[in-house]
Amino acid sequence: NLILEAAGLIESVQAPETLDAFIDERAAFLAEYQNPAYADEYRSFVDDVRKKTSTVAGDDKFARAVARYLFKLMAYKDEYEVARLYIDGPFKKNIAKTFTGDYRLKFHMAPPVFNSGKDALGRPKKKEFGPWMMTAFSLLSKLKFLRGSVFDLFGHTAERKLERRLIADYRARISSIADSVTPENVDAALAIASLPDEIRGYGPVKEQSMMAAEAKLPDLMRNFEDTNSTAKVA
């Protein structure tokens, strides 16, 4: 099999990523995204859930779902993160590999500080910005420490407030059920923990997907409670 794998005739069988490695990778990302304290906040919450459910849930699938979707909520892509990805990510390397000679970068964006109204679909209108934006990105990426503070230039918009509320609501929801997860109701708990998977997009699109996801929450919580009650009776 090793020879066949080396020849590319069959796919290599990769061992499943451990939960520890899964958490470590995402904590490292959050440390770059914000700071080590933010990463520790993530790790501490997931570790607490893991301890509460390790002996009753049968395996780590609930803790893994919490690790996955809490990370998704905490790593929301705001202006600071977009700037960081343009500066620190593979963007510049890919541009250099793809284009040669004299070329000019143009960015089509809709930053809230340059609000140009809405398009026909209710989305913020985008404007064109020149190559000077790379300098702006470099400066903006250094201001990520302002994220969520009273001095956050972008943090007072409805979208950013919503993203922070989603994090708080998710943590409160998971904390409310973690002590009650059992082998019998773990699938119902998993559906609750995985609900952020349905939240997609940006701006109005994200808001609509969030509302659709939250509309499902009462039924999911009811199913968890009903399964929990049935297990106790049995």
Which of 44-48, 54-58, 124-128 has the largest mean confidence? 44-48
What pTM was estimated for this model as a whole?
A: 0.78
CA distance 160 to 22: 26
Contact criterion met (CB below 8 Å) for 130 and 104: yes
CA distance 189 to 177: 7
Could you report the per-residue pLDDT of 123-133, keeping only the tens digit for each? 667 777 877 78
Q: What pLDDT does 112 receive?
A: 63
Start-to-end CA distance of the chain, whole Å, equals 48
Q: Using 50, 70 and 90 to split pLDDT, how confident is the model at 7?
A: very low
Q: Is 232 a residue whose pLDDT tops 60?
A: no
Q: Is 159 a residue whose pLDDT tops 90?
A: no
Q: Is 1 a residue whose pLDDT tops 50?
A: no
Could you report the per-residue pLDDT of 183-195, keeping only the tens digit for each? 888 999 999 999 9
**How much of the chain, in percent, has pLDDT values that exceed 90?**
39
Q: What pLDDT does 65 receive?
A: 95
Question: What mean pLDDT, rounded, does the chain reach?
Answer: 83
Rg value, the chain, Cα? 22
Contact criterion met (CB below 8 Å) for 83 and 32: no
Return the minimum-mean-pLDDT range out of 19-28, 64-73, 93-102, 216-225. 93-102
Q: Is 229 left (phi over 0), alpha (psi -120 to 50) or beta?
A: alpha
Could you report the per-residue pLDDT of 57-84, keeping only the tens digit for each? 557 889 999 999 999 999 998 888 888 8
* SS3 assignment, position 129: strand
